[in-house]
Structure formats: C-alpha cells, structure tokens
A and B are shown apart, each in its own frame.
Chain A
Amino acid sequence: MITLQNINKLYRTDTIETTALNNINLQVDEGEFLSIMGPSGCGKSTLLNIIGLLDEPSNGKIEIKGHTVSNYHTKETAKFRNEHLGFIFQSFHLIPELSVMDNVQLPLLYRNLSQKERNQMASVALESVGLNNRMEHFPSQLSGGQKQRVAIARAIVGKPSIILADEPTGNLDSVMGNEIMNILLQLNQENKTTIIMVTHDENMAHKTHRLMRLYDGRQL
C-alpha cells in the first residue's frame, strides 16, 4: 500500500545542516494500523508529512497504491491527496467561521460534486462519528472531543483509503482520547482504512497493529 525507500530529510541553513530523517525504509500494508512513536523532535511529524505528501523528502522514493508519488508535480499531488488521503491534526484545524457541516464538506469542494451530493456525503460522515445532531453548530460551540470527531468526519468524508493522524488525542483528556481512538479503530476494522498515527501515548500505540519507533531521525 505504502512503500518508503531510503527516505532522507535534511534542513539546511547557511551554517548548519540538520538531519530530520535518516534513511527511512517502511512498508505499510493495506488495512494496517501503524503507530509511530519517539521523543519530541525525532522526526515523527516530518515522516507523517512526507507520507501525506505535505512535505518532500530530500531524497528517496515514495510509492502509494502503486503510484510513484515522489515524482508528482504540485497539482497532481494536490489531486492525489484529495482522492486518497485524509488528515487528522492534533489541534483539529477546523475553520472557525464555517459550520460543522461546511467544515466536513471542505475536501469535497475540490471535487466535481453537486451541493446535494456534498451534503449527503457529509451527513454520512458526521453520522459515523455520532455528530449528526451538531451539523449547524460552529466549532466554538463544541468540546475538544467533538471538534476532533468533526475533524475525523472531514478526514473520511471523501472516502480516502489512507488516514494520517498527527497526535489525534494529544489535546484531549483520557476519556475523550479513548473515544477518538475507538472511532479510529472502528474505521480501520470496518472500512479497512489504512491508518498511520503519530502518538506520544504508549497505551494508544499498543492498540494498533504495529508500532514504529524513531530516534534522532532513525528507525529503531
């Protein structure tokens, strides 16, 4: 499903060169739930951004669903992300001026769909996270857990085969964190969605199929 070969990421300034990722090789199978752990600054988020085509590696090859996406141009990358990838962020990143319904529809705006189709798909996504009674609410009217559920609905509304979650429970208390984790596990089990999750939480990580540890940009 996802193959990373010899991925390196270097950040250069005039005087310093920092290695964020050092020769990462990774294979993620379809339907797998992988968690990535490691101390702060070890390159977890950088790796997730590279897998999610939000960032480019300094060198190496990325293949997703048989496509060598590391060669894609900006527009092709944007289209690929829209069709195949869903993102969940630690700080939710909901648009405060838009209602829950409009926030969830955001990925569908970049597809050729009618308003009716968008409404239907967003309703289904919100129902699957148990928020169909909050469609007209605004993010400021929701709790942290509810906001993250909206973010999950936004990530899955376009039916992507891969979800990338960057510390999805990091801003939540343990009860809400467990709720979110259960939704992700359910998505993985029922829809066979491939999920890659960055986390600091050992308990959450142990609920996934596989754990990958990073230290100073290297795989352990």
Chain B
Amino acid sequence: MFSNYLKLALRVLHRNKFFTGISLFVISFTLTILMLMVAFLHSQFGAKNPVSKTDDLVYMRHLKMAMVQNDTIWAKDSTQIDGIWKYDSTFQNVNNNKSTSISWYGKKFLDSYFRQLHSAEKFTFIVPTSKYNVYVNSVKIDITTSYVDEHYFDIFDFKLLEGNFISKADIDQKAYMAVITSELAKKYFGSTNGIIGKQMLVDGKNFFVKGIIEKAKMVNLAINGQLFLPSSILPDDVYETGYFGNYMAVFLAKNGNIDAVKAEIKDIVSRVPFLDPSRTNGIAYNQIEAMPFTFQESLARDVIYMEDGAESLFYLRWIVFALIGIFILVPTLNLINLNISRIMDRSAEIGVRKAFGADSNGILIQFIFENVILTFIGGLLGMIFTIFLIRLSNNLNLLGELVLEFDILFFALSFFITIVFGVISGFIPASKMAKVHIVEALKYK
C-alpha cells in the first residue's frame, strides 16, 4: 500500500509543479535557517576541543568595584486639623551609586586570592587578545596573542599537532617560547613543517616556536589566540591599577560542581579589603563584586549584556527558542493553508477511496505520508543548501573564528525536525479532509 502511496505522492508533486515549487521553497528555506541555527548553537556552545569540559568551567572575566553612598531624603507635609496647621516630616535612606568601574583583573589580585580555591581542580590566569602586527616579506600579519600560564593547556585541551605546550619550566624561567596555531604557522613561515625551534619576531622580541596547535573553531575570548606566550614574561605590574589589570581567570570545578566554585569566589571577594582611595584615583570604592560565570553564561553575556550572566543566558535561550518557534510556526501555517487547497482539489479521490473501502484513518495516513515525502525532499534540499552555506561561511570566515560543523547529531536533529514539520503541516488538513462525507467529496470533479 505504501508503494502505491509513494507512487501517487511523487506523481501528484510532479503534476502540481507550482504548488510543489512553492512548498519545497518554503520547506527547504525554513529548514536551512533552522539547520544553520542548530549548527551555530552546536558549534558555538557544544563541548569540543579545546573546550571539551564546557560544563565544568567557571570564567572570571570582570571585576566590578563601586562607591556607594547613602543619602537621606527628607519630605515635609502639612495639614489643618481643627483649623490649626500641623506639620509632619518623613525621611528615607537611599543608596546612591556614585561611581562604578568594571575591568579585567590585576595579576596580583588574582595571585593573592584565587590560587587556592578548594572547589576548583585547576585554574589558569590569562591575558587574552593582545594584538601585534608583524611583517613577513613586507606583508602585514595581525597576530592575536594570549599570555598564558602552565595550567592553560590542561584546562583548554587544544589539539597538539607538533612539539609541546608551554610548561611550568617555561613559566618559571620566563622563557621566550611560543605555541602557535597551524594557521599562523602557514602565514608566518609558509608551512607547518620543520618550524619547531625556529624563531619568530613579535613585538621586537624573538620567540622560539615550541608547539603547533589546531586553532579553536568557536568564538571565545579565552581561546581565540593565534600565538600563546608565557605570561611570566610580562612585567608583574603591567597596566595594573589597584585590583584592576588585564587578566582573566578560568577555573575547572571539582566534580563539575560549578556552583561551589561560584560561591567560593563570591565568599573570597566579600572578604577582600577595600583599597585606599590614593590607589584608585581618589575614589573610595566600598563594594567589590567578582562576576563568575559559566562557559555558556559568559558567551551569552557577549550577546546580551546583563549584570547577571545567568539572566543573559536565560533571555538568550528564550530568544533562540522563540526564533526557532517562529521559524517553524509561520511556514507550517502557510503549508497547512497550501495543503488544505491541495487536498480540497482531491476531494473526488477521497470520495472514491472511501467508497471502495478506505476509512478515515487510511485517508489520514495517506495524506500525511504524502506530506512527509514532500518535506523529506524539501529537507534534503535544505540540507544541501545548509552544507553549501556552511562551507561558504567557513571558507570566507563570515563568522570570524567560528567554524560551523556538520555532524551526525546535527543530521539526526535535522531529519527529526523535517519529519515533525511534515507531520504537523499535513495532519490538520488531512484530518479535516478525512472526515468529509463521501457524498460531498464525490460532488467535486
């Protein structure tokens, strides 16, 4: 019976070329958008090298210091009681936030308070995204540099292609060693072969190439460097003003308990003494707040900036769900509409089938099956478009460092979306028509 349905479905689609064209466009366009969204979310938020422990990481990117002063607001009121004026007054204490500063962490601040977290298995302090320009054969190359410590490559599991990572000895000896991405190696040396031990001139200093790694394929400040140098070569007080500086910290939670890490960070910060105003340009900061976020909260905050990263993630998730919902709902409604008129055209066929023994369920299954075939073809087209657009985006770096990926999970999810799309957009018109009375159905010619 299904081979008969399939034969019929393909011929119906072939006969109604206009309808088929519009339907396939709607389905493939919608699925392309959905699949690109899924690919984006999967590539950006999914766990993979060098962030395979996404759920166990706590980022400390910014420190917030505020000077809060209390004001008292007085209000007077008067009224006449028995012809005599009476006066009353009320007051209210309010916190007037006079000055707030948010910046990266200073190295000394991190060293003093965050080297001994009980809840963290590992930690790394990083100076991310310093930009240097170098010239190779008169061609300018922009190099994004990160200064890292010996724990960095334990937490971020970059794929090592050749050589070694930066070690504790490199840090201790303030060695001029560099780990570079294969992409930078090709730009700087023209090849990735035989360059371990070669020198690179960056910022007026010579660095020996110690290791070659595969670049991170997602957008994230902590991992988007092309050149990784030991942070110990930086002067201790570089750019530091009070507790501020240009470091960030990343912690790997013990047993994945990120809440414990967040709580411990907040507890430590609550006990940090306030700085003397002479060290902070005369501002008497009396509130300090560390802002520890999970990997996903940290990314969400880059998209929707809110004080609380959890709130950013909450809103971002709802926006994504709403967009996915709209992208499914609008074309589904259109397809339902198209399907109603298409199925109406086949009323006589429904009448004949019923007359010869089909029941309403049989008719329902037939039309849903046809719609699933249509959406399946649309889904295949959508996948072809998606693969094309993903390759285009990756080849032209349309999304910066983010490399979109196409994997099994992604395929499975796309097929699932396709089938759901087909069933939903076919069910309503099919069930409506399956209930049509035979005599009424047969009146259509």
Q: Is A74 interfacial (CB 8 A cutoff)? A: yes
Q: Please give me the residue from chain A that is nearest to B10 by CB atom.
A: A97
Contacts of A72 in B (CB 8 A): none
Interface range on chain B (Cβ under 8 Å from partner): 20 to 34
Taking CB atoms, residues of chain A closer than 8 Å to B8 are 95, 97-98, 102
| B236 proximal to A (CB < 8 A) | no
Q: Which residue of A lies closest to B348 (CB)?
A: A93
Q: Is A87 an interface residue, CB under 8 A from the partner? A: yes
Binds A, one of B26-34, B264-272, B355-363: B355-363
Q: Does A106 contact B (CB under 8 A)?
A: yes
B1 touches A52 (CB 8 A): no
Q: Interface on chain A toward B: helix, strand, loop, or mixed SS?
A: helix
Does chain A have a CB within 8 A of B151? no
- With A91-B445, A106-B352 as contacts: A98 and B11 at CB distance below 8 Å: yes
Q: Determine whether the beta carbon of A81 is less than 8 Å from that of B351.
A: no
Closest chain A residue to B11 by CB distance?
A97
Knowing A49-B439, A105-B4 are in contact, say whether A95-B356 is a contact too (CB < 8 A).
no
| C-alpha spacing A91/B351, complex, angstroms | 13
| Given A81-B356, A89-B442, also A102-B3 (CB < 8 A) | no
Q: Using Cβ atoms and an 8 Å threshold, which residues of chain A touch B349?
A: 93, 95
A10 contacts chain B at the CB level, 8 A cutoff: no
**B357 near A93 (CB under 8 angstroms)?**
no
Indicate whether B12 reaches chain A with its CB closer than 8 angstroms: yes
Residue B354 lies at the interface, judged by CB distance under 8 Å to chain A:
yes
**Interface residues of A, CB < 8 Å — how many?**
29
Contact A96 B357 (CB under 8 A): no
Residue from B7, B11, B355, B359 in contact with A75 in the complex, judged by beta carbons closer than 8 Å = B359
Q: A79 interface residue, CB < 8 Å from B? A: yes
Given contacts A78-B358, A82-B357, A96-B15, 12 further A-B pairs with CB under 8 A are A54-B355, A54-B438, A55-B438, A81-B356, A89-B352, A89-B442, A91-B348, A93-B349, A102-B4, A107-B357, A109-B358, A110-B356
Across-interface contacts of B351 in A (CB, < 8 A): 93
Q: Separation in Å of the B358 CB from the closest CB of chain A?
A: 6
Bound Cα distance A22, B66 (Å): 93
* A194-211 contacts to B (CB < 8 Å): none
Provide 8 A-B residue pairs closer than 8 Å at the C-beta atoms, listed in order of the A residue.
A49-B439, A81-B355, A87-B352, A87-B355, A107-B356, A109-B1, A110-B362, A154-B356
What residues make up the interface of A, taking CB atoms closer than 8 Å to B? 49, 52, 54-55, 74-75, 78-79, 81-83, 87, 89, 91, 93, 95-98, 102, 105-107, 109-111, 115, 154, 158
Q: Does B254 sit within 8 A of A, measured CB to CB?
A: no
User: When chains A and B are docked, how far (Å) is the Cα of A74 from the Cα of B353?
Assistant: 14
Contacts of A105 in B (CB 8 A): 4
Residues of B within 8 A of A102 (CB): 4, 7-8
Chain B's closest residue to A96 (CB) is B15
Greatest chain B CB density within 10 A among A54, A74, A75, A97 is at: A97
Q: Mark B418-445, 1 if CB is under 8 A from A, else 0.
A: 0000000000000000000111001001
Once A75-B359, A78-B359, A89-B442 are accepted as A-B contacts, the answer to whether A95 and B352 lie under 8 Å apart by CB is: yes
A49: chain B residues at CB < 8 Å are 438-439
Min distance, Cβ B55 to any Cβ of chain A, angstroms: 52
Q: How far is the CA of A91 from the CA of B349 in the complex (A)?
A: 12
